[in-house]
Structure 1
Amino acid sequence: MSQDRLRLAIIIGSTREGRFAPTVARWFTGRAERHGDMDVDVLDLAEARLPATLTNEPPPEVAAITPRLAAADAYVVVTPEYNHSFPASLKSAIDWHFTEWQAKPIGFVSYGGMAGGLRAVEHLRQVFAELHAVTVRDTVSFHGAHDRFDPDGRPHRPEGCDAAAASMLGQLAWWGHTLREARSRRPYTG
């Protein structure tokens, strides 16, 4: 890994059986890998099996993902919208960690029905602000997501999706490089 490359963690937030998240995440991961200056680590919370109950000592499942989150320079959260917000599995992953998020940028890829997951993103912005993370402005959103992808997992009309992903990744790269340099010069103390 080159010093100039960012370490991007893509977090798949849904753990529900029959979820659509892997389709959206695979498409976005391809876009991130083609961006050119990012090494991508996909963290699927369904595989992590984090406990919902917070205890004083993190269990092994949490300890297994903590180094991956800590190593990241930037994050992208792939989230559906459940009941006008984001999944409990994602909240669990966020709440088990604190310093890992600090002074790092976060982008969002959301999907859902008519709102395309944007209400989940707005809630996540509030949560990540409390954790001293920086959320980038542009997002990628799929309204009526199940109808937007073909059976091979590609968007039917990729131009708009690709442009949205490129814009968000550009912002994420700028913030990622800038904040990484800032943290190396002056550690963030909150």
Structure 2
Amino acid sequence: DAVGDELCKIVPEGTPGSIQVPVTTVDEFSSSELTKYPLIHMLKVDAEGLDPAVLKGAEKVLKAKRAVMVMFEFNPGLRDKKPPYGMWGTTQGLTKLLDVTTWLDKLSYDCYLDSRVDGPPEVKAPALYRITGDCIRKDPRIAGWSNVICASRAFPSVAQALLDIAVLVGNDGTWGT
């Protein structure tokens, strides 16, 4: 199965039967469409493995703290699949989750991994694991897709709400066994 098989998929340019669609950045869109709406309550990114590029294209919005919360998908194993591969991975030239969350931290966002990684497998409820502040020091090894949710510290009540429900990972900032 290819990335994006929910309804359609992203394919390399020139793939037979494919169609091109216009693309813009969040920053370009917000400068033309959102000036009358200066605040984005939730910037939800679901770009089939290209989420780091979308976030970079939202840098002005994020720097201006116009997004209260940001949510994006993360899949560290995408490079092991068939094309299109996406951008996530831990090898040279790929994007590491901690690089993205460190960048978001510098823009005043606290980030959490939204994924159940502990407890019995029959438990399906998600859990929030704090990433920001060296709470996780090594990219997590998650099988499949997980979400990352970030709250702007410019909105303290929202940032505090996520912190209040978060699970802190081991004292040394690494995943438990």
Class of the TM-score when normalised by the shorter of the 2 chains? 0.3 to 0.5
Structure of higher CA gyration radius: 2
Name the one with the larger helix percent. 1
